């Protein structure tokens, strides 16, 4: 028990909740220990031999798969 029991009396439930939510030395110690053990994941890297597909190559692939859509990106909006 604390040496100052009078701090828990004559307070609203909200004030008591705030006192309890603050935690204490143990919570701070545990938080510091947790931060030390949890390491940030390394940033993602692209595989060394990965082939990067360009936009033009992707469009060419789609044009061969769907010939009826060839050139659809070139049409203007106002042509009806």
* Residue-range domain boundaries for the chain: 11-37
* Residue-by-residue DSSP string for 8-50: GSS--HHHHHHHHHT--HHHHHHHHHHHHH-PPPPPP---TTP
Instruction: For residue 40, give the 3-state DSSP assignment.
Output: coil
The pLDDT tens digits of the residues spanning 17-51 come to 777 776 777 777 888 888 888 777 778 877 777 67
Q: pLDDT tens digits, residue range 62-77?
A: 999 999 888 777 767 6
Burial 11-20 (b: 16+ CB within 10 A, else e): eeeeeeeeee
Entry pTM: 0.32
């Amino acid at each position: 028990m604390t040496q100052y029991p009078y701090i828990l009396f004559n307070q609203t439930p909200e004030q008591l909740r705030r006192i309890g939510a603050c935690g204490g030395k143990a919570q701070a110690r545990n938080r510091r220990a947790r931060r030390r053990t949890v390491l940030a994941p390394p940033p993602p890297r692209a595989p060394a031999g990965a082939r990067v597909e360009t936009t033009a190559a992707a469009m060419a692939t789609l044009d061969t798969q769907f010939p009826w859509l060839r050139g659809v990106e070139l049409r203007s909006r106002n042509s009806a």
